[in-house]
Each structure stands twice: as structure tokens, then as C-alpha cells.
Structure 1
């Protein structure tokens, strides 16, 4: 297994991601997060071509901590700065233990944004989804107003902004999902506010000549959350899974985070979208059967598959980055093992079953 120095300290070496040597299971959260933070050689090479330090806004979310750690492992001589409110101080402590600088800031505060250090590379990972239908004003403020403040303040910087495949219409099952050329048709205010976020980044990218990418993700998974966790947990509890939204795409969170960081090398003026998910279209009914077999329990489903689903075409991402390195079979085995052993979870369901855009 290859390794490289981390943080400028020769004694500390970081394992590289080797798809030929995947673990059989994860014994702990620590083992999972270490694996999620292993860089590929391709990521190391791409970040070496991107000048300057990196700041991640909204670093305390589900993907943020391992995204920051992955960036630091892939580019140990760059400053990696994580910005969040840090309502959970343990997240901040973990980040700092990994060599990531942290700044506490409320991104709804214009003065707080203007006080942040000017670095040439920004990953915007802040946003509001869960509970969006109960606080639409906050949803729009976080998803549209804050991106405008950030894009205007960090003029000239490369900005990769997280977006979502929810901005697309449901597409016909049996064909390729929505591509970057598919006209957005956001259903519900959450998805509409995410188009607002994209338009703000696009506008200020053109105004200031700031290179950017709009990173349309669905759905990232690790052991503690995601579509696979949601389905496996219901199967494990003996609950029926609704298969009306009958097909999904998923991608390993480590692969998604690597593509976020590699997108810094592929920014455009004005900012343009790129889809991120796994290349397979997965049957939810098939996933239920697969998890039932692994967990040794009966498969139970309700509903009937609709003829449309939220699906994305990742031809562009696969051309730029290659196929994701962690295969579906490994994800199924890992999630089933994690759920069977009742390991920790984020308790943040994806709500992938929602078809009316109300999150």
C-alpha cells in the first residue's frame, strides 16, 4: 500500500485509496472516517495543479469533516480551513486534530463572511434541506442569500458550490437520467432555492471572472446515513419499504468528496454544473432483496414503482474523473454489516421517497 507524508511531518504517513484492497468491514467510526479520508493518486495529482490554499464553508455537516481531512491528506502542504458555527464543539476538535484550521462564523452574517481570510479556493458546503418546508425563509436565506454574499465577497476565487440533483425533473426509468443539459424543473421550495444558489454563483462568476462549478450531487452514502442506510435500517427493523420512488443513484461519500476537490481543477467562467452520483440505476425493490438476504430477514415492500424517478447522468463526471473507485457490492456489504451490528448513525434520513419536493 502506498503512503505519503501528511502535514509536513515525515513520521505521519497517510494510506492511499487502493480499490484493489478494500476492507471487508469497518470496526468503528474512527476506522470508517480514516478510510473515507484516504486520497487517490488522481486526487493528489489534481490538487497539486491547483494553486493556493483551500477553505470549506459549512464544514460541520455530514460530508464536511471527512472532506476537509481528505483535502489535507491529499495536499498536506496547503492550508485547509474549515468554517462553520460549530454548534457541536467535538467536530471542531476533531478537525483541528487532523491539521485543519477552524473558524467559527455564522454565514448569515455579512460581516462574518467579509472577515474570513481570502484564499484562492473555496468549497461551499453550507445549506438547509431537512425541515425546509417548515422554515422556508431560512431555506431561501441559506441556499440563495448566503451564496450571493460568498460569491460577491470572494471575487476571483475558484468556487465549487454543492448543489443537488433535486433541481432536475423526475425522468423516465429505462433511459439515462438528467444530464447537465436537462433544463431544471425544481419541485418544491427546497429545490427552487437550490436553483437560486446556482444562479447566484453563476451570476457573480460571470461578473467577477471567478471560475466555478455547480456540484449537483445525489445521493452520497457512508455507513451512518444515505439511501442504502435508510433502506437497510428499515429491512433490519422488519418495516416495509415504499418502492413508489422505485429507482435511485448512489455514490460512496469518499468518491463524492474526491470529485468535489478535483472539480477545483475543472472550474469554468461562468460557473457550470456537473452531476455527481454512481453510474448505476438501482432498483429499490432489488436493494430491499439484497439487504434482506444479507441480514437474514424477510423482504417487505409496499407500493408499486412509478415510471419516473430522480436520476442523474454522470457521463461528464466519469469522463473527467473516471468511474467511482468504491463499487456498489462493497457498499452493500458494508452497510448491511454496520446496520446488523447497530453501529452509530446520524439519524438524518435522505427522504429519497419524496416525490413532491416537500422536505
Structure 2
């Protein structure tokens, strides 16, 4: 990307832009239907449209992209239909609704419950563990890419090396525990049904309306002090994350599910990120608390070896965030709560 997006239209086009590698890999996707489950969330729109555009670039007319959600925001469904993505309304917590879904050769599973689960842990268990079982039984022969989270790991010291895919998990709180449960449900399908599965442990995708950088920038613009309860983070450009999710359709494997950490290559100091944003936004930077020795981190070396580095590195993400806000760009009131260390969201 040579020019940073300056409007919502430019941003959404960029988030859905498939790279040449994805378009080439789409030539090998199985014919039939690609379902994007939970497409009404923060990442689903970009992934669904990117899949549609990759198929068009590949000259594939034998695959239909179908986005499934409850569609509490009807405007998203209208947008997707205009982009050539068919939309279906369904409550996927209802096994009958899952049973009524059309057959599919491939499934991207984005459904999850995080925020509000500290006060309603039953919702986390239902959405993150029971619902995936409905999906795996409905689509035992489909290739499935399921979004997970780096929260399944324990806290790590940046100086000691961040967790890799083969390292032990140590989830804290109902959200992280149930996300590991979701992984195990999909692993069960891989081993029991021979379902090809890829599990994507994502840490903090960013775009200028949402993410850790947006959280920090809004804090600075309000004149509030930045909380250093979390001292370091990994972040990654949302477009890159969307593309890696789709490229993992070709990595899904039966028996042993393919597992991938998805984040950027930098372990970024929260203090330094805030200072860089403060300089760009021309505001005073204040802090509260002291950074602890450990943070929630992931090592995405495997991801970068397979798919290359993000097309927007951290410095460019900071520039994009600052430029967006200085130009009056919209943001979403959906804080990541990245500073939480107790697993309660």
C-alpha cells in the first residue's frame, strides 16, 4: 500500500484487498461454498469481501461466498450484498439454525464471546465451546479455519521470549479458558471426523477505528493518563490478519489441527507506543502505574515465515492511526481492554 487510507471507503477497500499470493492460492480452494460464520463482527466483513475478490482474481466462478450472522447492524449485510457476498441471518447458538445452513466446502469460523463474559461466564461457555460443536457436526467434511486468541497463553516476560505454538497454554479467566475449549472442540473434529482444521491465535489486530493503537490515541486525546498495567503488546495490521486467515484454508489439516500465532513481529512497549502517538497527535503524554515484568505476548515467527511480514509495519500503523484521528476519522466505541491481566472482560 503506497498511500494510507483517508476515508472509510478507502479503508474498507484496503482491508478487503487480496494480495497476489492469496489470489493464486484461491485457485486451489475446493469448489462449492465458502461460509463465513460470525461475519457481522469486527473482522468478518473484510474477510468475506477479500475472499470474494480473491476468487474473482483467480477466475473462480464455482465458489459462492456466504456470510452468516444475526446482522444486528443491517447496513453491513447490505454492504456485503453489494460486494457480491450472499448474506444469511442465523442465530448460531441454535443447533437447528446451524443444521439449516447450506452445505459448504470451506468454513471460516469467527464466532466468539469476549466482552461482558466476566459478568456472564455462561455466555462465554455457550458461544466458545458448545456452538463450535454444532458447527463441526454440521460440516465434518469442510475445511475449517477457526479464529482463536493469544489469550490461551500465560503471561510472559518479553526478555525471556514470547510463547510459540508448541509452548504450553495457561489461560486465565473464563474467556481464555473457553477459547482453549473452542480449540479442543475443533481438534476433536480433526481427529474424530478427519476434518481439516486450522486454528489461528490472533493477538490484537489494528485498524484506525479499533484496536490497541486506537485505544491509546483516544486516551491521549481525552487528556487521560495511559495505564501501564500491561507493559508490552503485540499488534498487527488488520488487512494482513484477514489475508492470513484466508490463506490458512490451504494449511488446514486433519488428525493434528494446524495451529498458528498471528500477530506482528514487534514486541512493543506500551509507553513507547503512547509517546510516539502523543508526538504525532501533538498532545501531552502522561502515565499511571509501572509496567510489570510480564505481558500477554505471542511469537509469530512461524506466521511470518509462511506468509511474510505485515505489509504495514508498526511505524506505519502509528502514522495511520494519528493521521486518521487528526482528520476527524470515525472510531468504534469497542475498547480492547488490553490492559487487563486477570482475564476478566
> Structure 1: which 5+ residue stretches go unaligned?
1-18
Contact 1:166 1:191 in 2 (8 A): yes
Shift of 1:175: 3.0
Contact 1:124 1:162 in 2 (8 A): yes
Tell me how large the CA RMSD over aligned residues is: 1.0
| The one of 187, 190, 208 aligned to 1:223 | 208
Choose 89-98 or 332-341, whichever is displaced more: 332-341
Supply the distance in 1 between the matched residues of 2:270 and 2:290 (Cα, whole angstroms): 11
Partner SS for 1:171: coil
Is 1:60 matched up with 2:40?
yes
| The one of 22, 31, 34 aligned to 1:43 | 22
Q: Per-residue CA shift, 1:290-324, capped at 9, x if unaligned?
A: 01100111111111111101110111111211111
TM-score computed with the length of structure 2 as normaliser = 0.96
Contact 1:56 1:123 in 2 (8 A): yes
Contact 1:236 1:339 in 2 (8 A): no
Which residue of structure 2 lines up, in the alignment, with residue 337 of structure 1? 323
Choose 73-82 or 278-287, whichever is displaced more: 73-82
Q: Per-residue CA shift, 1:139-174, capped at 9, x if unaligned?
A: 110000000110111011110001000010001122
| The one of 257, 280, 297 aligned to 2:266 | 280
Is 1:254 matched up with 2:239?
yes
Which residue of structure 2 lines up, in the alignment, with residue 30 of structure 1? 9
Which residue of structure 2 lines up, in the alignment, with residue 97 of structure 1? 82
Which residue of structure 2 lines up, in the alignment, with residue 295 of structure 1? 281
Report the count of equivalent residues.
Answer: 338
TM-score computed with the length of structure 1 as normaliser = 0.92
> Structure 2: which 5+ residue stretches go unaligned?
none
Shift of 1:244: 2.3
Supply the distance in 1 between the matched residues of 2:325 and 2:225 (Cα, whole angstroms): 16
How do 1:1-359 residues align onto structure 2 when only pairs under 5 Å count?
19=1, 21=2, 23-24=3-4, 26-52=5-31, 53-76=33-56, 77=61, 78-270=63-255, 271-359=257-345
Supply the distance in 1 between the matched residues of 2:88 and 2:285 (Cα, whole angstroms): 47
Supply the distance in 2 between the matched residues of 1:113 and 1:204 (Cα, whole angstroms): 16
Partner SS for 1:81: strand
Q: Per-residue CA shift, 1:41-76, capped at 9, x if unaligned?
A: 011112222222311000000010111111111112
Q: Per-residue CA shift, 1:71-91, capped at 9, x if unaligned?
A: 111112331100001111111
Partner SS for 1:170: coil
